[in-house]
């Protein structure tokens, strides 16, 4: 099997993993492997050039996209909807066992949620905290 095919297989695996994690770091590695595949297509015997080209592209993208994403978030009009979640009411869609994950609907969005309590389906909850993709909730009645 040609090296460029192996590079493209690696790129496909990295792309799928990126879709699962949503971190953008694996996306840059994926782009690097695509560049390595292109180098492999034009220079099949230059293995070191393939690796160096892929690594350089992944490194440059990783280093330079952090300030760009920070600038985008600070731009006027950008709102992180998760910030305003704290204190809002939600409904448990999938039950939450103590220390386990469940699903809570807040507004029109569903979130993975955890709680220090056991919460059943259709219980009203209030959002206490939000991490990147998981919210911590507590039974609504305790706040009234």
Taking Cα atoms as reference points, which of 48, 57, 40 lies closest to residue 3?
40
Give just the sign of the alpha carbon dihedral 33, 57, 29, 27: negative
Predicted pLDDT of residue 85? 83
- CB-based burial label for 42 (10 Å; 0-12, 13-18, 19+): exposed
Predicted pLDDT of residue 72? 63
Cα–Cα distance for residue pair 16/5, rounded to 1 Å:
17
Tell me the backbone φ, ψ of residue 123, rounded to 5 degrees: -80, 145
Segments making up each domain of the chain, as ranges:
3-74, 83-143
Give the architecture (CATH level 2) of 83-143: Beta Barrel (2.40)
- pLDDT of the chain along its 144 residues, tens only? 899 999 999 999 999 998 888 777 788 999 999 999 999 999 999 999 999 999 999 999 988 887 776 666 666 555 555 567 888 899 999 999 988 899 999 988 889 999 998 999 999 999 998 887 889 999 887 545
Q: Count of residues for the chain?
A: 144
pTM of the entire predicted model: 0.50
């Amino acid at each position: 099997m040609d090296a460029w095919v192996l590079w493209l297989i690696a790129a496909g695996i990295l792309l799928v993993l990126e879709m699962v994690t949503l971190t953008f770091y694996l996306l840059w590695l994926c782009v690097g492997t695509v560049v390595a595949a292109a180098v492999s297509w034009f220079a099949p015997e230059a293995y070191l050039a393939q690796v160096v080209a892929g690594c350089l592209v992944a490194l440059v993208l990783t280093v330079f996209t952090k300030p760009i994403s920070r600038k985008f978030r600070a731009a006027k009009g950008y709102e992180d909807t998760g910030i305003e979640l704290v204190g809002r009411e939600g409904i448990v869609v999938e039950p939450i066992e103590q220390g386990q994950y469940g699903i809570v609907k807040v507004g029109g969005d569903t979130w993975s949620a955890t709680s220090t309590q056991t919460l059943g389906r259709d219980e009203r909850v209030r959002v206490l905290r939000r991490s990147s993709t998981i919210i911590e909730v507590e039974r609504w009645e305790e706040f009234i």
